[in-house]
Amino acid sequence: MGNNSLGDFLRARRARLTPEEIGLPTEFGRRVAGLRRGEVAQLAGVSTEYYTRLEQGRARQPSEQVLQALGDALRFDDIERRHLFALAGTTPGQRDRAAHPAQLRPALRQVLESMDLASAFVSDRDLTVVGGNRLWALLFPDVAELPRRERSMARWTLLDPRARVVWRDWERVARDYVHGLRLAAAAQPRNQRIANLIGELMMRSPEFPAWWSEHRVQERSTGLKRLHHPVVGDLELQYEVLTPVADPGQTLVIYCAPSGSPAEERLRLLASWGSEPVMKGHST
């Protein structure tokens, strides 16, 4: 192999990955077939200048964290990731606990499924939804149907145009997610999945860069959410955010309606549809 095998490998893989594969909009007249260096750099959370030096063989040996981030940004499988580390002259160690997919305990899933008139889901340290009950899947079908790596309420709210219809006060909800994401990023500076999510939102969400630059942090544990469902109409739901003692890295979010309210009757109507969960926490 040549003197710059690492750079050659990165450049070749970058050229083969299309913007559409990572969810970037198609640009008319785009001259680059694959991804630009700046796009890879932003997805990996490094500067364009540093990534350019890596491709050109002018950078010092990259850290394991940078290599893992590049593997995530370029959608490497396990074999490609091992090859990347070999070219860099190192071997991958154990990634942070937050980087491993969390599992939903059977007992906690049973708790979720026992809530007949409450929409509930559990998210992990990466802000990924690892499980939800049937009513949550009926209330947020667009999220429930996503593959696990994309199943994030924050990501869906900021990137899916349908979320602007579901959330009746979309901007407030979206800003809350941005502020919560900044808090999570500060608490987990080595969590590469959160860093990747921030990079994706920087590139794809028109509002995110300005809101992120405000440096506001916020953690809401209770409140009111106003939604619109295409079948049952408008809903005003109370929410509670709880942390299971046995699973401190997971968060349980519950949406419910006041007893006897119109929203409760609409949830009851929604709950009467179907009998099988739409998604499972172990799906990929």
Q: Which residue, among 218, 161, 160, 162, has the nearest Cα to 186 in the 3D structure?
A: 218
**Cα(160)–Cα(138) distance, rounded to whole angstroms?**
17
Q: Is the pLDDT of residue 23 over 80?
A: no
Question: Has residue 2 got a pLDDT over 60?
Answer: no
pLDDT of residue 278: 47
Q: Which of 222-226, 233-237, 278-282 has the lowest mean pLDDT?
A: 278-282
pLDDT digits (tens, 9 = 90+) for 37-89: 998 998 888 899 999 999 998 887 898 889 988 988 888 887 888 888 888 88
Domains of the chain, each with CATH number or no CATH: 5-93 (1.10.260.40), 106-271 (3.30.450.180)
| Residue that the structure tokens 């506001």 belong to | 216
Q: What is the pLDDT of residues 90-145, one digit of tens each?
A: 877 655 444 445 788 889 999 999 999 999 999 998 899 999 999 999 999 999 99
Residue 32, classed as helix, strand or coil, is coil
**How far apart are alpha carbons 258 and 237 in whole angstroms?**
8
CA distances for 21 relative to 18, 35, 73, angstroms: 5, 10, 11
- For residue 57, give Cα distances in angstroms to 6, 34, 191: 8, 20, 27
Residue type at position 121: F
Q: How many CB atoms lie within 10 A of CB 168?
A: 15
Whole-number pLDDT of residue 49: 93
